[in-house]
Structure 1
Amino acid sequence: MTTAYVGSAAQRLRTVGTYLMRPAELNGTLGIDAGAWQLFGRHWNELAPDVYAAELGTRRLRRYGHFRFTAADGGLEPLPHGAFVQPDNSNPLYIERDRHFEPLTEEFVDDPVLQSLLSLLGQLATALDDVERWSVKVTPFRVLASAGDAGQPTPEGLHRDGVTLVSSLLVSRDNAVGGESSVFSANGRHLLSAILETPGTLLLGDDRKTLHGVSPIRPRDAARPARRDVLVITFAP
């Protein structure tokens, strides 16, 4: 892994609270080419329905994994699979509600792209706060939409995740319009808006001082469904 872009990303996170890392930056940092995302994206075909999102009328697939990251040596340790719990003062839809999702597949956990990405994000989290051990939550999402049914990447609207570092990586999208990601400061000042369109686009945020949300997606061609595949990874002490 090269570190040419890590310092600038960390600096923007500390001063602004958010940073959009373009694919060329991320690919160069991870030491991969653009074709790696197509291979990595095959894991999204193994996701399972999100029954909790379905209660709100959202067609979403996902899995979930929990890890411990040690800053000193960059070590990553899988933790026992359990319920996904939203911290206090975060997502208003699911506070105090345990949600149970299928675990990440072994192939996904062992994928070198995921391992490199977690190492990068661990460096950025540690740049925000001098923490020795981090709780890391890894959630691949697939949001679907049809002509009469918009897909809602964030049905809760603008929110926090109750962590230190939050990241959203676009892995793939097809036949989709919309899906604009926006980040605001705690006092409501607009910081950034962007549609994540190219695989390898990584949106980063200091979740302690920002709010984020994503607008709905709809099909470009009404005869076919729209799809948006992202990977959300969070780091908390």
Structure 2
Amino acid sequence: MNTITSASSLTSTSPAPAALAPAVHALTEPGGYLMPAPELSALLGVGPADWARFGAHWDALTLDTHMADGGTYRFRRYGQFEVDASTDALTRLPHAPYLQESTINPLNGGVERHFDPLTDEFAADPLLRSLLLAMATLFTAVDGTAAWNIKLHPYRITAGDDQTGQPAPEGRHRDGVTFITSLMINRVNVEGGESAVFTDSGEELLTTTLTGPGDLLLGDDRRTLHSVTPLHPVDTTAPAHRDVLVVAFTAR
């Protein structure tokens, strides 16, 4: 296991509680919150150059060969961390297969899925450290838990004239964790990809299309379901993709 330290001028400790108050309130009450890119960038102390550097890691993703629908539209990597929000100790865990129960993921669950690990450059990026610490502080304020397991899923969903991109091929779902987040990294030549959060009874809490690098959608996975609509290319003669980072926090 590797404890991640920061040698950057980016924020390396958790943000002040006041900055997180709107998100804490929204996650405590209805269970979902949209943090626009300017709000997250200010929280982390980052700018366009930081997002551009971080987004370049998505060019190193590899094909997901475990899609039960036969699709070849998803590229990804996978890794885990643990964090103690009381001390800002962030530790990268050894690489392991990813497993979801089939009751949670009826499309791809029930089997161990072996994905390529996060690159060392991605795992050590100072923006990632700042992001994970900020989210840990937020979720601790909501839930009261300081120790978290973190699963990271950087995704690139491609779309073309011959194949629709499916960010959430399982439809409206939950992930079987405590909190689930989706961070927009980049959209290139695509339309669609509308995200929605629902209560268990089907009430729509919010609907949004994540557009700019840093738009962040957060949800209490115990009390909500979420979905994302399919992607289509705007120009079918040019490459088209949607890059996001899905981060799942599970209380330990």
Global fold match (TM > 0.5) = yes
Q: CA deviation at 1:86?
A: 1.3
Q: Distance in 2 between matches of 1:89 and 1:8?
A: 33
Secondary structure of the 2:113 match is coil
Are residues 1:212 and 2:216 paired? no
Residues 70, 88 of structure 1: CA spacing in aligned structure 2 closer, same or farther, 3 A cutoff? farther
Normalised TM-score (structure 1): 0.95
Do the aligned partners of 2:160 and 2:232 also contact (CA within 8 Å) in 1?
A: yes
Which residue of structure 2 lines up, in the alignment, with residue 26 of structure 1?
40
- Rounded to whole Å, the distance in 2 between the matches of 1:56 and 1:187 is 31
1:127-161 alpha-carbon deviations (Å, 9 max, x no partner): 23222321100110000000231100010011101
CA contact (8 A) 2:63 2:72 kept: no
TM-score, with structure 2 as normaliser: 0.90
Structure 2 spans left out of the alignment, 5+ residues: 1-10
Amino acid at match of 2:131: L
Give the match for residue 29 of structure 2. Answer: 15
Instruction: Extract unaligned runs of 5+ from structure 1.
Output: none
- The answer (yes or no) to whether the contact 1:181–1:194 under 8 Å persists in 2 is yes
Matches of 2:166 and 2:102, distance apart in 1: 23
**SS at structure 1 position matched to 2:67:** helix
Which residue of structure 2 lines up, in the alignment, with residue 145 of structure 1? 159
1:49 is aligned, of 57, 63, 68, to 63
Partner of 2:73: 59
Aligned counterpart for 1:124 among listed residues 118, 121, 138: 138
Aligned residues: 237
Corresponding residue number in structure 2 for 1:70:
84
Distance (Å, rounded) in 1 between the aligned partners of 2:102 and 2:222: 12
Pairing 1:84-99 to 2, within 5 Å after superposition:
84-87=98-101, 89-99=103-113
Contact 1:88 1:162 in 2 (8 A): no
Alpha-carbon distance in 1 for matches of 2:242, 2:166: 10
- Tell whether 2:118 aligns with 1:110: no
2:172–2:225 CA contact under 8 A, matched in 1: yes
Do 2:66 and 2:108's aligned partners in 1 also have CA atoms closer than 8 Å?
Answer: no
The amino acid across from 1:108 in the alignment is: F
- Give me the identity figure in percent: 46
Map 1:145-224 → 2, pairs under 5 A:
145-224=159-238
| Coordinate RMSD, CA, aligned | 1.4
* C-alpha deviation, 1:55, in angstroms: 4.5
Q: Distance in 2 between matches of 1:96 and 1:200?
A: 32
Query: Secondary structure of the equivalent of 2:66?
Result: helix
Counterpart CA distance in 1 for 2:102 and 2:134 is: 27
Query: How big is the shift at 1:87?
Result: 4.6
Residue 161 of structure 2 aligns to which amino acid in structure 1? A
